[in-house]
Chain A
Amino acid sequence: MNDTPNTTRRGFLKAGLATGGALAAGGGGAAANPDPLITEVQPWATGLGAGVDATPYGLPIEYEADVIRRNVPWLTADVISSINFTPIHALDGTITPQGCAFERHHSGAIDMRKEDYRLMINGLVDTPLVFTYADLERFPRVNHTYFLECAANTGMEWAGAQLNGAQFTHGMIHNMEYTGVPLRTLLEEAGIQPSARWIYVEGADASSNGRSIPLEKALDDVLVAFRANGEALRMEHGYPVRLCVPGWEGNMWVKWLRRVEVMDRPVESREETSKYTDTLADGTSRKWTWVMDAKSIITSPSPQSPIVHGHGPLVIAGLAWSGRGAIERVDVSLDGGRNWQSARLAAPPQPMALTRFYLEIEWDGSEMLLQSRAIDSTGYVQPTKAQLREVRGLNSIYHNNCIQTWWIKPDGEAENVEVS
């Protein structure tokens, strides 16, 4: 092994292969020589590791340094109103570690203390109210796990296969267990007036990210959340308080939530007119396309997670989700959609949350065109890109939930492709 470890997985793997396949060895064949990792006493088996006071709050071990958020500089004019991507190609299970969960800001990630936090509820209410952060922690609390998918996830792929990796094509997503107060509880504290039909929610940041939400959804399952995956929200995810809008496009999950206005009409703000409207082929545009449809992606193998172990047993792993309900089934094709088999769901699917699927196969080293197809509890079947283009054309930008194809080559490398 090198003295200085390679800090990327592929760099590490390539180095390993060059020196005889340190990681790739095994596979049922008999060993020619005893393995020194077994026959020689290793430093970690004789010396001491780090003490319990070494890391009050830990980060991943250095060998996982490639499991990080990445950005694509050419996508936006600057890095403030911009996007980065969750390394879904390297993760497993369903919970996204907060530290590498994607970010999307319109005027940067702001830094606010809980002491400086205020939430206002005003408009068509009996008593407009101001809450402090401490007030929010005194309301009855719930925990729910939901995916947050940016409306623009996979948006760069409308016109063709463009970015080479699941992180870039499908990584504007994270899935967390949120703790918070139902928005309904806060609205009832203020007293909703009979003429109320909508709410308008906005953040404390300069962009405000104001969005209109129908009152029905607001009273159903919208959460005012202050913890995620057990701890406080990260700064970049809205610390100390954000909105959760289950199943709906990520833009509506207003961060640094500062105000909820109860209204009789939508505001038609910038983020629901200029942006987050979906232009169809004839030039008209859909507005209020809130729900995120059923979608799935094979996370491994994928372009950033190639097959390096040669022929034989192969785990195909992926994620599926739907804003319309729970995932019912995921089908996987090895031949570009000619034939399908149902994958195994790793755990009972939860509504509007990521679901992990696996398909274990014997790989004989031949080329594959891998696809996955999600089916949700309403019977909706994830469409192909051709099916979506037939309805929408090429300029929708948002809501691309098409079936993705990875071309697996005989050497195990994978590439983002489109197929006929």
Chain B
Amino acid sequence: APALAEKLGLGRPALPEEIAAWDVDVSPDGAGLPPGSGSVADGEVLFSENCAVCHGEFAEGVDNWPKLAGGDGTLAREDPLKTVGSYWPYLSTVWDYVHRTMPFGGAQTLSDDEVYAIVAYILYSNYLVDDEFVLSQENFLEVEMPNAGGFIVDDRDGVEVPRFSQPPCMNDCKDSVGITMRAAVLDVTPDETAAGET
């Protein structure tokens, strides 16, 4: 058997232009951000042209499409509204995702300055900056995201695993059992025959 630590000499070195074309991720510390800037005012026009058909003129969402603004203080509620303003911890993610993946169906068509402007407008829609604001590579890390401190690293090993690793009851585990909720009452399951009978 070949020793795996030994290189096989497969593949070829990636060229700088190739890495630049594909490696466009942006990290929370700003690494990966290109030079550039964009204003709320420019972002409002760009958002209206490229984004509002799904996300609404004020980033409030149309129909079932994602809401990008609103929901402050709702995370502990029964039905939280998670948006860029109420939930997202890092602005880098907004820039990276819009630049890489939006608009839906026309991804990777926005210039760097256009992405800065649209992100500025999303911040404005969330009342996080004023209407004179210009977002740039230089001031990017100064924007405070309200829910930046709202995340903890997976703690199931400490909180759940000991609790759920007790030898389970096998007999007479409870006094009585009653039905408390029924899916048929809600009746939101697609009709069984609809897909099969075309």
Contact = CB atoms under 8 A, between A and B. Distances in A.
Contacts of B197: 6-8, 11
Contacts of B87: 274, 285
A382 B171 CA distance: 17
Nearest to B166: A381
A373 B168 contact: yes
Contact of B93 (A74, A165, A270): A270
Nearest to B32: A267
Contacts of B181: 160-161, 417-418
Contact of A129 (B11, B25, B27, B174): B11
Interface core residue of A10, A163, A261, A283 (most chain B CB under 10 Å): A283
Contact-residue bracket for chain B: 35 or more
B180 interface: yes
Interface string B3-34: 01101101111100011001101111100000
A74 B64 CA distance: 9
30 contacts: A8-B193, A11-B193, A71-B190, A120-B18, A123-B23, A128-B14, A135-B11, A188-B7, A206-B105, A206-B108, A259-B23, A268-B89, A268-B92, A268-B93, A270-B97, A273-B90, A281-B76, A283-B75, A288-B153, A337-B173, A339-B172, A381-B164, A381-B166, A387-B163, A387-B164, A415-B184, A418-B180, A420-B177, A420-B179, A420-B180
Name A's interface SS.
loop
Contacts of A200: 25
A210 B61 CA distance: 24
Given A268-B93, A331-B170, A163 B183 contact: yes
Contact-residue bracket for chain A: 35 or more
Name B's interface SS.
loop
Interface string B43-85: 0000000000010000000011110000000011011101010
Interface string B158-198: 01110111111111111011111111101011101101111
A351 interface: no
Given A7-B198, A391-B160, 19 more contacts: A8-B196, A68-B196, A80-B104, A129-B12, A164-B184, A202-B25, A266-B27, A267-B25, A268-B89, A273-B89, A273-B93, A274-B88, A279-B80, A285-B87, A339-B170, A378-B161, A417-B179, A419-B180, A420-B177
Nearest to A285: B151
Contacts of B150: 283-285
A7 B108 CA distance: 44
Contacts of A265: 27-29
B7 A189 contact: yes
A380 B104 contact: no
A120 B188 contact: no
A135 B11 CA distance: 6
B186 A208 contact: no
Interface of A: 6-8, 10-11, 65-66, 68, 70-74, 76-77, 80-81, 106-107, 120-123, 127-131, 135, 138-140, 160-165, 168, 184-185, 188-190, 200, 202, 206-208, 210, 258-259, 261, 263, 265-270, 273-274, 277, 279, 281-291, 293, 303-304, 331, 335-341, 369, 373, 375, 378-383, 387, 391, 394-395, 407, 415-420
B22 A120 contact: yes
B112 interface: no
A106 B120 CA distance: 25
Shortest 8 CB-CB contacts between residues of A and residues of B: A283-B76, A336-B177, A283-B75, A77-B64, A416-B183, A206-B107, A8-B196, A128-B14
B10 A283 contact: no
A269 B93 contact: yes
A172 to B, nearest CB: 15
A287 B152 contact: yes
B101 A130 contact: no
A337 B107 contact: no
Nearest to B157: A291
A164 B22 contact: no
Contact of B168 (A129, A163, A291, A340): A340
